[in-house]
Amino acid sequence: MPNSGEIKPHEQDAASAIQHATDRAILDAAQHIAAGHLVAFPTETVYGLGADASNSMAVARIFDAKERPRFNPLIVHVADLSAARRYGEFSPGAIELANAFWPGPLTLVVHRHTGCSDEPRVCDLASAGLPTLAIRVPAHPVAQALLRASGRPLAAPSANRSGHVSATLARHVADDLANRVSMILDGGATLHGIESTILDVTGDRVRLLRPGAISRDQLEHVVKQPIEISHGTSSERPSAPGQLQSHYAPRALLRLDATTCAPNEALLAFGMNLPPTVGPVINLSPSGDVLEAAARLFAALRELDQTGVASIAVMPIPMIGLGDAINDRLRRAAAPRR
């Protein structure tokens, strides 16, 4: 358990909570997790806001910190496939996908185990009361070290306010969560810069619930059949994280597929042929590389949003490779606000 000198939640600002992810800091973070506190940590996709998934109060603190709708389920992170199988029921096809892409940026939605287990049970709040779990085995060494040091499954959505741009640097977490987190493990910039791909493997056919850092082509190469696409929902019972229509939204309005840029707009560019503009400009990839664009997307949206412009013109991104995931995020960010 945490020692008497440990900083408690809300007694510091998030900037002072940033600590380089040394072995000592990871052990301290594990103590925070054991006490039911929130710890932000890097994964290979984006930074996650972690809590003990078996502790319903700790998970409730995630929703409180993010101001996240309670009906939106969370991804549960575990150290390996063996651990995952203690919480969920994995079909042969699910095991094949896990063996191909874990550890890595793939989340699998599986049925919860109905039998008894000696492992701590993932609380219902983490899955929004659904009979399924969204499970991932992250590849980032800091995430792996924290999982093993804490000895708990970690519920960990992206470390940002709900609906805001996801965090790809420790300082992004500090900017967005203020004093809502006990500790931020700084592991540098994330590799992919876009969230995990989510697959529903509970039925006879594999369904893509959220495009992400693993492309549909890569997945279909493993499953040897077309993957069904489940488009985002505005319902109050999404089956996985990231399915709400208005999500990942900056303060500024987004104007998609823009070929012009008004004087009072910022420009989120892609490629070499940019329209004339007098406002702020960030080019996701001058060379037209969708992988580079995916890695820079959230940081670029944050930076342009902080300029104070009312709207951001977004140039077209091709629907190839990770372009599908990028456009998915942009469509949700541009959805009408409620």
pLDDT at 213 over 80: yes
Tell me what pLDDT residue 243 has: 59
Range(s) for CATH 3.40.50.11030 in the chain?
A: 253-334
Mean pLDDT confidence for 311-337: 89
Tell me what pLDDT residue 4 has: 34
d(CA 101, CA 48) in angstroms, rounded, equals 19
Tell me what pLDDT residue 337 has: 67
CATH no. of 14-229? 3.90.870.10
Q: Where are the alpha helices (DSSP H) in the chain?
A: 14-17, 23-34, 56-66, 81-84, 92-101, 141-150, 170-177, 216-223, 290-305, 323-334
Residue 242 CB contacts under 8 Å (≥ 6 apart), including other chains: 195, 198, 209, 210, 232, 248, 332
At 114-170, the pLDDT tens digits run 655 666 789 988 888 788 999 999 999 999 999 999 999 999 999 999 888 999 999
Range(s) for CATH 3.90.870.10 in the chain?
A: 14-229
Mean pLDDT confidence for 89-117: 91
Tell me what pLDDT residue 23 has: 98
- 199 phi/psi in degrees, rounded to 5: -115, 135
* Bridge partners of residue 50, in order along the sequence: 39
Least confidently predicted of 67-71, 146-150, 196-200, 260-264: 67-71
Residue 175 CB contacts under 8 Å (≥ 6 apart), including other chains: 14, 302
Residue 177 CB contacts under 8 Å (≥ 6 apart), including other chains: 14, 40, 49, 65, 159, 160, 161
Question: How many residues in the chain?
Answer: 338
Q: What b/e string do you get for 222-244 counting C-beta neighbours within 10 Å, with b at 16 or more?
A: bbeeebeebebeeeeebbbbbbb
Tell me what pLDDT residue 163 has: 81
Greater confidence (87 vs 241) lies with 87
Tell me what pLDDT residue 145 has: 98
Tell me what pLDDT residue 86 has: 94
Least confidently predicted of 68-77, 101-110, 148-157: 68-77
HSE at residue 270, side-chain half, CA atoms within 13 A, is: 24
The first and second tokens of residue 247, run together, are 């999500």
Q: Which CATH class is domain 253-334?
A: alpha beta
User: E strands, 212-310, where?
Assistant: 228-229, 253-255, 265-269, 281-283
Cα dist from 147 to 154, 237, 334, whole Å: 7, 29, 35
Least confidently predicted of 56-65, 113-122, 200-209, 255-264: 113-122
- 15 phi/psi in degrees, rounded to 5: -60, -40
At 264-310, the pLDDT tens digits run 999 999 999 999 999 999 999 999 999 899 889 988 998 999 999 99
Tell me what pLDDT residue 142 has: 98
Whether 199 contacts 44, CB under 8 Å: no
Q: What is the pLDDT of the chain when averaged over all its residues? A: 89
The band of 237, judged by pLDDT with boundaries at 50, 70 and 90, is: low
d(CA 33, CA 52) in angstroms, rounded, equals 6
The pTM assigned to this predicted structure is: 0.82
pLDDT at 38 over 80: yes
pLDDT at 222 over 50: yes
Return the residue matching tokens 């496939």: 81
Mean pLDDT confidence for 57-75: 84
Tell me what pLDDT residue 129 has: 77
Tell me what pLDDT residue 234 has: 47
Mean pLDDT confidence for 13-30: 90
